[in-house]
A and B are shown apart, each in its own frame.
Chain A
């Protein structure tokens, strides 16, 4: 019963007044920056880092963690209400969430996002506490070949995100991967497709693409169809979920929690894969799969839960190995080191207050977020009642400031304009932006792992089949690819034949 004792100790730490206060502050700040498009947790945490110097280490890390998962919560709000995804995970949320909002079910979408996230967060926290060190071994057993196959599988199934033609959506994935190649090549340091522009040497900005192709393009499309706008601002709908919606969401939340908890452990890419892995799953097996594309609640419940579970379990590599899984975690390592604490396997023994206090505070933070966010839903949904002519300039300005503040560079603003126009063109041609964004994120990672795997295997491609993890993933990818393409090709052939006959 060590776990219970330890957790009890953790709660004793997390529930002191000071730590509760800073957990709350972190959650509120996190929610606020999550709601603002463009401004992410990385920028905010780096701004607030100096403030934490004066606090005890435990308090500091509790607050930073609060910002991190608060931002995840807040991010889904803008994704659902305004079709503005601030990060990869919210791209998936826009697909069904925004459609739900347009049907007048914004309240239900926001509620299930909050409730599902809370449930997933609770499960994931217990998982971190109970078997963190064990799960570390899973993360360590993933070699470059396995990562490559995982990313490849991710790309193949991301075509499922498509609402229309599979060929066009795989095409958009390929376009995203190609776009991801812009910038400095990790392996050689060479500049690719940068045209000598220093701003492009770190690649095209994700936020610029997302803001342009989702946010700006959506504004333009809404302005073109006044009738859609009046629907938008007229229907607020009931805030609560119906019994039917709730019943459909529960299994999605459960599945999302499992997917997210497992993928979150893998540093680099795991968390990004989790939300649309869950989306893909819901779209294939949930009861409401025929409603996907028109605002299915499972498409919000699953990915949101997966995303939050992953953001909790992504602490595992940090806590057990001292290795940050993403940029936010890297900042937290920095904060700990400045405090004179060395994250790593010995942290559990050396800093039990910090370790168990942080884990307990994750749950406390999730509870706080639920308490903060549920009453806010009513206010958020009322925002939709604001006339669109006042709404769109505001969205535009918030996007512009957010994009600019990423690097304090107007180049990013112009980049967003270009992607806005391209996004508009794509939506006219029914080329979908979501698969492109996923390709953009996963493509460079896939390249990196592919090349590293080949370097380490001395050029022997058998490594992808010899390693069991990799082989299984490639197998699934192959089956999925065939299953997706066959009906499409057959359909094309049929119509070709009909044409001939």
Chain B
């Protein structure tokens, strides 16, 4: 069948290169000597999945073994993360740790989750962080956060769409409501796509989204970017002011990184950190990430571990305020 043909012709090049390098490694007996599993705790096709695949392609070249991306979605990204937390700490099982699995879900699923986001992992490196952006339908008459706040305080209130309940975008809506002094009418959707459609169609005037899923729509003018929830303005959108500039003390990026099970040899973690940062420094990868709207990370392994610890502490009280609980 022409199946065979496909694989042979398409993979031949990269497979040969990998195989050759693999052989060289196996002889020296050092890590890595066999394929590495990279668990993505989300369904295929999302931003995390795309970034993981880009990263895997880069790491594969540098490490000389193949990286196999494995999607294990479920329960706020905790199913895949739990699997890796329990895997052998030999450096052959890694996970794309992220704001959901390692900061928000631990608070949402308190007591139900069978891993500790900080102590059960050897955190390797921050891969990318994406600013949260608030966009509005061009005809909604909302150009600034002051407009949005005024709408929120009016009798009708302000509807804000998000990609789902319990996401960092949702928690932003809760925090904004606290700052405005009036609860915003949160309209959760099943993913960013349907939410964006509702905003474009004018059914919901505003949306709290992470930049990668709205970047195209902002560039095309089908929605306008009202505010960026980062500490600084985003280089790709220098005209869009931040929340702080508009007088609302809010700054939050969603992020994901690379983590291994706790107990992974420090030398392996160091090597992975070095190679990951090298991949992320590659101009081609930087350009891809920029297109997706994200900022590539550049942290030491200790730095990333400390970062995760801070995020866990930051989100727990917000989750409680939002009322998102498993039951």
Contacts and interface: CB of A to CB of B under 8 A. Distances in A.
Q: Is there any pair of Cβ atoms, one from A and one from B, under 8 angstroms apart in the complex?
A: yes
Interface of A: 24-25, 28-29, 32, 42-43, 45-46, 49-51, 53-54, 140-141, 143-144, 184-192, 196, 198-199, 201-202, 267-268, 317, 321-324, 327, 330-331, 333-334, 337-338, 340, 342-346, 407-409, 448, 452, 455-456, 458
B209 interface: no
A314 to B, nearest CB: 13
B44 interface: yes
A199 B327 contact: no
A340 B288 contact: yes
Contacts of A342: 216, 219-220
A188 B73 contact: no
Contacts of B170: 189
B49 A202 contact: no
A317 B197 CA distance: 9
Nearest to A317: B197
14 contacts: A25-B5, A42-B43, A51-B10, A51-B11, A140-B201, A186-B188, A190-B326, A192-B327, A267-B193, A321-B222, A337-B50, A337-B216, A345-B222, A455-B187
Given A141-B201, A185-B165, A189-B164, A408 B54 contact: no
Interface string B66-95: 000111111110110010000000000000
B197 A327 contact: no
Contacts of A49: 44, 53
A144 B71 CA distance: 31
B185 A455 contact: yes
Given A143-B203, A327-B43, A344-B222, A321 B197 contact: yes
A327 B74 contact: no
B118 interface: no
B183 interface: no
B50 A188 contact: no
Contact of A188 (B46, B54, B72, B324): B324
A327 B2 CA distance: 26
Contacts of B159: 455-456
Contacts of B164: 186, 189
A482 B200 CA distance: 38
Given A143-B201, A201-B74, A342-B219, 10 more contacts: A42-B45, A46-B44, A189-B108, A189-B165, A201-B79, A267-B193, A322-B220, A334-B50, A455-B187, A456-B203
Interface string B187-212: 11111011011101101100000000
Nearest to A445: B190
A196 B75 CA distance: 10
A497 to B, nearest CB: 48
Given A49-B53, A141-B201, A334-B45, A322 B217 contact: yes
A324 B3 contact: no
Contacts of B72: 407-409
Contacts of A50: 53, 56-57, 69
Contacts of B108: 189
A29 B4 CA distance: 11
B166 interface: yes
B44 A340 contact: no
Q: Enumerate the 10 nearest inter-chain pairs by beta-carbon distance, A residue then B residue, closest first.
A: A46-B44, A189-B166, A189-B165, A201-B75, A330-B45, A331-B45, A140-B201, A342-B216, A191-B326, A189-B324
B70 A408 contact: yes
A54 B46 CA distance: 20
Contact of A338 (B11, B165, B201, B288): B288
A188 B327 CA distance: 10
A184 B75 contact: yes
A46 B200 contact: no
Contact of B216 (A46, A191, A317, A322): A322
Q: Which of A141, A327, A334 has the most CB of B within 10 A?
A: A334
Given A189-B324, A321-B200, A54 B10 contact: yes
A323 B50 contact: no
Contact of B197 (A46, A51, A323): A323
B79 A199 contact: yes
Interface string B95-125: 0000000000000100010000000000000
B196 A323 contact: yes
A187 B195 CA distance: 13
A391 B37 CA distance: 35
A469 to B, nearest CB: 13
Nearest to B161: A452
Contact of B6 (A25, A196, A345, A408): A25
Contacts of B112: 196
B66 to A, nearest CB: 10
B75 A198 contact: yes
B230 to A, nearest CB: 21
A267 B194 contact: yes
Contact of B190 (A141, A199, A448): A448
Contacts of B5: 25
Interface string B168-192: 0010000000000000010111110
Nearest to A444: B190
A78 B294 CA distance: 43
Contacts of A334: 44-46, 49-50
A342 B222 CA distance: 13
Contacts of A337: 50, 216, 291-292
Contact of A344 (B1, B71, B75, B220): B220
B44 A42 contact: yes
B188 A187 contact: yes
A112 to B, nearest CB: 26
B165 A186 contact: yes
B303 interface: no
A333 to B, nearest CB: 7
B34 interface: no
A344 B201 CA distance: 14
B197 A267 contact: yes
Interface in B306-327: 323-327
Contacts of B74: 198-199, 201-202, 407
Nearest to A143: B203
A268 B112 CA distance: 31
A331 B44 contact: yes
Given A54-B10, A188-B165, A321-B197, A198 B288 contact: no
Contact of A456 (B57, B82, B187, B219): B187
Contacts of A25: 2, 5-6
B220 A345 contact: yes
A345 B220 CA distance: 8
B49 A46 contact: yes
A140 B201 CA distance: 5
B187 to A, nearest CB: 6
Contacts of B49: 46, 334
A24 B2 contact: yes
B117 to A, nearest CB: 15
Contacts of B187: 452, 455-456
A324 B327 CA distance: 31
Contacts of B69: 50
B10 to A, nearest CB: 5
A146 B274 CA distance: 53
B217 A144 contact: no
Interface string B35-60: 00000000111100110011011000
B45 A327 contact: yes
